[in-house]
Amino acid sequence: MGSASTHFERLTRCCMKCRISQFLDKTIEIEKAGVARVAIPFHGDLTQNAGFLHAAMLFEVADTAGFMAANSMEETYSVLTVDYHINLIRPVRHEGILATSEVVTAGKTIYVTRSDVYSDSGKLVAAGQGTYTVSGIRLCDLDGYDD
């Protein structure tokens, strides 16, 4: 394939074409192979009854960051989440969130990542671990990858 930066740009563009990414106004950055960051700004429509950011948003940024970290190391096929465990540490109110993720184990077909989620004020709000498998879905067949 091409250079790592080209793969990172293609992967980011592909992920940003997803409707959920656009709806959440995400930002995605692949720092280097195996390390990614995903953020979403605060939006009142993403809260639960007590006014806290819904926990699904913490899961979403952590899993997406893990996916991006894992797929940054796989240049031919898309990876898929097969397991994700998250610990919710504290609620978030009126702040956006940022997940940082790093691949901790890379095999031929399985990647394991660790993600930490922070509020805009820098507090650790969640920690997770994801397992991703290399699928048979070619990246070049995904909308946005080869645009």
Q: What is the pLDDT of residue 60?
A: 98
103, 111 contact by CB (below 8 A): yes
* CB-neighbour burial class of residue 135 (10 A; exposed 0-12, middle 13-18, buried 19+): middle
Task: Please give the model's pTM, rounded to 2 decimal places.
Answer: 0.94
Q: How far apart are CA 24 and CA 91, in angstroms?
A: 19
Q: What is the pLDDT of residue 104?
A: 98
Q: What is the pLDDT of residue 146?
A: 87
Domains, in order of start, for the chain: 5-139 (3.10.129.10)
Indicate whether 5 pLDDT > 70.
no
Residue matched to tokens 């645009």: 147
H helix runs in the chain, sequence order? 4-16, 19-24, 55-71
Q: What is the pLDDT of residue 83?
A: 98
Q: What is the pLDDT of residue 147?
A: 79
Q: What is the pLDDT of residue 24?
A: 96
Q: What is the pLDDT of residue 1?
A: 43
CB atoms within 10 A of CB 109: 11
Residue matched to tokens 């990172």: 8
Q: What are phi and psi of 91, to 5 degrees?
A: -75, 160
Indicate whether 130 pLDDT > 60.
yes
Q: What is the pLDDT of residue 4?
A: 66
Percent residues over pLDDT 70 in the chain? 97
- The pLDDT tens digits for 25-80 are 999 999 999 999 999 999 999 999 999 999 999 999 999 999 999 999 999 999 99
